[in-house]
Homo-oligomer: A and B are copies of this chain.
Amino acid sequence: MKAVILRGALKEEHIKKIEETAAKAKVDVCFLDSEKELPEDYEDAEIAYGFGMNIAKARKLRESKSLKWVNSTSAGIEMLLKPGFFANEDVLITNSAGAYGVSIAEHIIAVTLMMFRKIDYHYAESLQGHWAEQLSQKSLKDCRITALGTGDIGRTFAKRVRAFEPESLIGVSRSGKCSEDVFDRVVPVEQLDEVLPQTELLVMSLPGTRETEGILSRERIALMPQGAYVVNVGRGSAVDEEALADALDGGKLAGAALDVFRYEPLPPKSRLWKTKGLLITPHVAGNMTLEHTVDKNVEMFCENLLNYAEGRPLKHLVDRKTGY
């Protein structure tokens, strides 16, 4: 059995761990710096590990009927699910949802507090050498928070933000349930419109699926209280960007932090760059730039490599119907 590993952010310690696990699992592994280097004797590999975008570029692997399992180091893998994308229509696809919770939860709290405390403004002023006047601030204490998405990201965020003593912390999920007891209550997405009027901070961590497309619509933004805040770290497609920009420019929303966008990189001419109170980060909340994320990612893959070799079901398998 052969596996191709696109190295990406892997360090020596990670490679060593994968090599040891592969030896146990009796899998031959080949580590590549680029998908372009694929050696001929690995074109019929059964397993591919790497960043989804890079696996997508490895044409020889995509076109091989031998490819049985693709492990994407990212959580969002929309592209890999397109019908006909892999020659083997039954290829198993696992993602790395679960590896990014810590990184993304820290990002959410960072950008929220930056906005609440006007540190974005003070920092911009400081770059000009200005000692600016104080502005009114908002606190996570006694804040009414709604997490739209109660997966690993939503739950890891909830556990951290709880320590800041919010007034309420509501989860919204497809099922209306959550695998851990970390929210005050969890409601099904059908009740989203009922919780929005009480939501001062809306944190979105949804996958990019047909069901989440445009879920934060113009009508839903209008349901939020005056001066509310939005943070999106899931997929850009979940937000009506024009409606969000209108709500910020018009003063309905006090601030928004977007790490993901409908089109990435965000086009230079996008109005979002100039939208009032919009904090833009270039899709960095959950990349493999945090050591903990890479460690966790490799740990999850190694566990699955043993599962695969020994015929046990894989964890983190993506459901082609729901898209996550």
Contact = CB atoms under 8 A, between A and B. Distances in A.
Given A137-B289, A284-B122, A284-B134, A117 B127 contact: no
B106 A116 contact: yes
A160 B282 CA distance: 27
Contacts of A284: 117-118, 122, 134-135, 137
A159 B118 CA distance: 23
Interface residues of A, number: 55
Nearest to A115: B110
A14 interface: no
A268 to B, nearest CB: 6
B103 A137 contact: yes
Contact of A292 (B141, B161, B266): B141
A295 to B, nearest CB: 10
Contact of A119 (B114, B273, B292): B114
Contacts of A164: 106, 160
A197 to B, nearest CB: 21
A148 B7 CA distance: 41
Interface string A274-287: 00000111101001
A270 B109 CA distance: 31
A161 B110 CA distance: 12
A245 interface: no
User: Nearest 5 A-B pairs (CB), nearest first?
Assistant: A110-B113, A131-B265, A163-B163, A126-B280, A131-B282
Given A114-B123, A139-B290, A142-B292, 15 more contacts: A106-B117, A106-B164, A110-B110, A110-B113, A110-B119, A120-B123, A131-B282, A132-B282, A133-B282, A134-B287, A134-B289, A135-B284, A135-B289, A137-B289, A139-B291
Interface of A: 102-103, 106-107, 109-111, 113-114, 116-120, 122-127, 129, 131-142, 159-165, 264-266, 268, 273, 279-282, 284, 287, 289-292
